[in-house]
């Protein structure tokens, strides 16, 4: 609700009250007793005030209505005649406003009080003694001897009570509708906030995925390039022919890295399907590149290869790539590593064991690479652990497990590549 709307709603009730008084004064101006104009105007003025303050001070409005009816019971000159009797509808307006007000004991207690007001107005309408003249009812003209007078009075009083209660329930319904609209607006706002948070979470997840992929690609390629460049520099004088082989390996590694990064960037376009997705069938090429960079890599496979989804194969490939890259990067010259796949179970158990030159550990203890390996294994439905070997502290061991796709999903997925 805007500020202007709140101002208009706050000013509407006083405006209605003032309009009510002005209307009835103009309507009755020719009927007022010139000697008793203030007394004749007073009932209209009190009802107008009750309407004006009903929203901000419902207790005062109810008190004014009760005071008016009590005064009319005591002072006959304050009672309405036949033409002015519809002015009691102003009290019905008060009932609507009070019913639409804030909840609490006052609003609950106002219903029986307003019903009582309606009954009193019904008595003014039908009881001959309560008419301004005191000899016949103000509207119907019934006299004291009218047959079935008591039944008629009861019926009309019940009708006035129903009108008063109806006004209160109309206000209550308006209040319930407004609260429902506010709740709906709050719900929509919460949904919008949740949608925004979900979007931010997706963006953060996508940024992390991109960062992890760039890390995997560039760390591997640059480690190979550095190893080849160092080898060419050390052997350049003694074995000039090896320089060309090193430069060729450097060019090949840089070219593959450039292609993978370009495909990764193209994959950011929603219409692109160019993202790089290596499978287990690409492991031979990965191991060959690592060997050409100077890393002594052994690979052993136990059991028959099982079924892994494309995402699981990508996860295994990146885990092996990161493990061997760290072995090459942190182990120095003549580092060695062993990659073992064991399919004899409900999935693939993999082990990457590495040791650097001079017995130094060939893996870091923390960093984005290890965090990425843990996350990839988790997303593939498995787990991963990394740390120094208990029996050989200078050897770093990465162990992990990825369940077969048929175990996870209950159905076979075509195997996209076989481990070598």
Rounded CA gap, 412 and 406, in Å? 5
In terms of phi and psi (left: phi > 0; alpha: psi -120 to 50; beta: otherwise), the region of 125 is: alpha
How many CB atoms are closer than 10 A to CB 281? 15
Rounded CA gap, 24 and 87, in Å? 8
Rounded CA gap, 360 and 336, in Å? 11
| Backbone φ and ψ of 388, nearest 5° | -65, 150
User: CB of 362 within 8 A of CB of 408?
Assistant: no
What is the set of domains in the chain, with CATH numbers? Answer: 3-192 (no CATH), 279-420 (3.30.565.10)
Rounded CA gap, 314 and 317, in Å? 5
Q: What pLDDT score does 150 carry?
A: 80
Cα distances from 64 to residues 113, 271, 361, in angstroms, run 12, 72, 91
Q: What pLDDT score does 109 carry?
A: 86
Look at the chain and count its residues: 420
Q: What pLDDT score does 126 carry?
A: 81
Task: Report the chain's C-alpha Rg in angstroms.
Answer: 45
Q: What pLDDT score does 273 carry?
A: 44
> Which among 393, 409, 272 has a CA at the least distance from the CA of 346?
409
Q: Tens place of pLDDT for every residue, the chain, 420 residues?
A: 566 666 666 677 788 888 888 888 888 777 777 777 788 888 889 999 998 988 888 889 999 999 999 998 888 888 887 778 888 888 889 999 888 887 678 888 889 999 999 999 888 888 888 877 667 776 666 777 777 778 888 888 898 899 999 999 998 898 888 888 888 888 888 888 777 777 777 766 766 766 666 666 666 666 667 666 666 666 666 666 656 666 666 666 666 665 566 555 555 554 444 445 788 998 998 898 888 877 889 999 999 998 888 888 988 998 998 888 888 877 765 688 999 999 998 999 999 998 875 444 445 555 667 888 888 888 888 999 998 888 887 888 999 999 987 776 553 444 444 443
How many CB atoms are closer than 10 A to CB 254? 14
Rounded CA gap, 61 and 54, in Å? 5
């Amino acid at each position: 609700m805007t500020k202007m709307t709140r101002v208009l709603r706050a000013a509407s009730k006083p405006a209605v009250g003032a309009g009510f008084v002005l209307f009835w004064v103009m309507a009755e101006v020719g009927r007022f007793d010139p000697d008793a104009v203030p007394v004749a105007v007073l009932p209209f003025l009190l009802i107008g005030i009750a309407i004006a303050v009903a929203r901000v001070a419902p207790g005062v409005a109810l008190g004014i209505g009760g005071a008016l009816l009590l005064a009319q019971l005591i002072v006959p000159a304050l009672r309405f005649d036949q033409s002015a009797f519809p002015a009691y509808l102003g009290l019905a307006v008060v009932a609507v406003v009070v019913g639409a007000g804030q909840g609490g004991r006052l609003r609950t207690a106002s219903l029986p009080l307003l019903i009582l007001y309606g009954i009193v107005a019904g008595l003014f309408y039908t009881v001959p003694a309560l008419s301004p003249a005191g000899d016949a009812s103000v509207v119907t003209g019934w006299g004291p001897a009218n047959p079935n007078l008591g039944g008629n009075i009861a019926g009309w009083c019940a009708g006035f009570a129903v009108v008063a209660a109806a006004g209160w329930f109309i206000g209550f319904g308006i209040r319930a509708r407004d609260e429902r609209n506010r709740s709906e607006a709050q719900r929509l706002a919460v949904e919008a906030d949740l949608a925004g948070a979900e979007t931010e979470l997706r963006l953060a997840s996508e940024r992390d995925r991109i960062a992890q992929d760039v890390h995997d690609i560039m760390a591997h390629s640059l480690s190979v390039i550095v190893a080849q460049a160092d080898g060419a520099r050390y052997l350049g004088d003694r074995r000039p022919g090896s320089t060309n082989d090193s430069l060729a390996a450097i060019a090949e590694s840089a070219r593959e890295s450039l292609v993978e990064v370009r495909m990764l960037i193209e994959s950011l376009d929603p219409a692109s399907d160019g993202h790089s997705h290596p499978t287990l069938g690409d492991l031979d090429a990965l191991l060959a590149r690592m060997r050409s960079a100077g890393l002594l890599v052994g690979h052993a496979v136990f059991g028959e290869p099982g079924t892994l989804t494309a995402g699981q194969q990508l996860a295994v490939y990146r885990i092996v790539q990161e493990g061997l890259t760290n072995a090459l990067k942190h182990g120095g010259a003549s580092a060695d590593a062993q990659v073992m796949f064991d399919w004899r179970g409900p999935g693939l158990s993999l082990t990457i064991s590495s040791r650097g030159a001079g017995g130094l550990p060939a893996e870091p203890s923390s960093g984005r690479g290890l965090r990425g390996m843990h996350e990839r294994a988790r997303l593939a439905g498995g787990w991963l652990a990394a740390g120094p070997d208990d029996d050989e502290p200078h050897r770093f061991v990465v162990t992990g497990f990825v369940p077969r796709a048929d175990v996870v999903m209950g159905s076979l997925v075509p195997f996209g590549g076989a481990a070598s």
